[in-house]
């Protein structure tokens, strides 16, 4: 059934805004269906779990003695070793280079703690480190995209209200004036939820819930022998994005460690809130049961 358009005078549309990260429906009459699905072929579909690689390289010669204990804590050598690493990608690591002295002081403090622990308790050797892990990389570690985020799947959805705002004048020979506004409302998510790194890469807004309403307004005129109805619906795309992130940091006893992991998130985009209409005319001019608006999805093109 094609969507029928009725007189603008009987419809009032409004947006109501609230904030959340999940679908929240304004009433139990809302329903969501899948309109279409598309999987995209790219390398991200083959992404693995987090991978850690230990290179075992000392930060600088002389840091450890022959027994593997901290021997020399030389800030100048720490600085020289870090700058050598950071300057491999100087533009990417400009912030680290600019703050190298603060970083060196922090790492020297970590090494000093380890040196004391090694002297007093051999079992503590592997428990003190310049720490780094996916999602909690220290600010002095290198971190960058190994594989920039890509859209890996895309689904097209329709959320609609199964109930209608109805004004029934199907069995009256007189036109009527609507005495109070009748409204139906649905809610849907818009924006990005998931990895903040991908959100920044896309320059997307954080996800939020937005409500959309369709109404028959107070004061509208409904013709004789007529039933009018309206309800809201919205179409949107749900995109899944993935990217590979990598970092390199220094473990006080293991040496340089490289980690690679997957960042992911969902982008609700191309949102199109609209109004569905239903009308029927009693051409017999005699009382009979008015037809009910459909409870199924609107007839939309996609």
Mean of the per-residue pLDDT values of the chain: 81
134 and 259 Cβ atoms separated by less than 8 Å: yes
Q: Is the pTM of this model over 0.85?
A: no
Radius of gyration of the chain (CA): 31
Is the sign of the CA dihedral 137, 138, 139, 142 positive or negative?
Answer: negative
Write the pLDDT tens digit of every residue in 268-285.
999 999 999 999 999 988
| pLDDT tens column, 102-138 | 889 988 888 888 888 778 765 554 444 445 544 455 6
247 sits in which H/E element:
strand 226-251
Asked if residues 263 and 245 have their Cβ atoms less than 8 Å apart, the reply is: yes
pLDDT (0 to 100) of residue 16? 29
Helix axis angle, 75-86 to 100-120, nearest 10°: 120
Q: Is 273 within 8 Å of 159 (Cβ atoms)?
A: no
């Amino acid at each position: 059934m094609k969507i029928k358009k009725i007189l603008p005078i009987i419809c009032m549309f409004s947006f109501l805004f609230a904030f959340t990260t999940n679908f929240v429906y304004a009433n139990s009459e809302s329903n969501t269906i899948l309109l279409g699905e598309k999987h995209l072929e790219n390398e991200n579909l083959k992404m693995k779990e987090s991978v850690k690689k230990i290179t075992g390289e000392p930060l600088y010669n002389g840091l450890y003695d022959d027994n593997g204990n901290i021997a020399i804590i030389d800030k100048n050598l720490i600085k020289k070793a870090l700058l050598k690493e950071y300057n491999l990608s100087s533009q990417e690591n400009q912030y680290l280079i600019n703050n190298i002295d603060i970083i060196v002081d922090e790492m020297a403090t970590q090494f000093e703690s380890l040196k004391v622990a090694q002297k007093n308790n051999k079992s503590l050797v592997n428990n003190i480190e310049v720490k780094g892990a996916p999602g909690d990389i220290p600010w002095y570690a290198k971190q960058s995209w190994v594989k920039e985020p890509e859209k890996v799947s895309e689904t097209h959805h329709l959320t609609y209200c199964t109930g209608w705002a109805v004004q029934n004048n199907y069995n009256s020979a007189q036109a009527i004036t609507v005495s109070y506004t009748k409204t139906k409302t649905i809610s849907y998510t818009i924006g990005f939820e998931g990895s903040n790194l991908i959100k920044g890469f896309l320059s997307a807004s954080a996800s939020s819930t937005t409500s959309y309403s369709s109404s028959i307004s107070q004061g509208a005129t409904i013709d004789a022998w007529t039933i009018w109805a309206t309800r809201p619906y919205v179409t949107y795309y749900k995109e899944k994005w993935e990217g590979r992130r990598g970092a390199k940091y220094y473990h006080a006893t293991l040496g340089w460690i490289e980690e690679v992991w997957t960042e992911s998130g969902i982008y609700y985009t191309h949102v199109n809130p609209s109004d569905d209409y239903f009308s029927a005319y009693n051409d017999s001019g005699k009382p009979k049961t008015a037809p009910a608006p459909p409870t199924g999805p609107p007839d939309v093109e996609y």
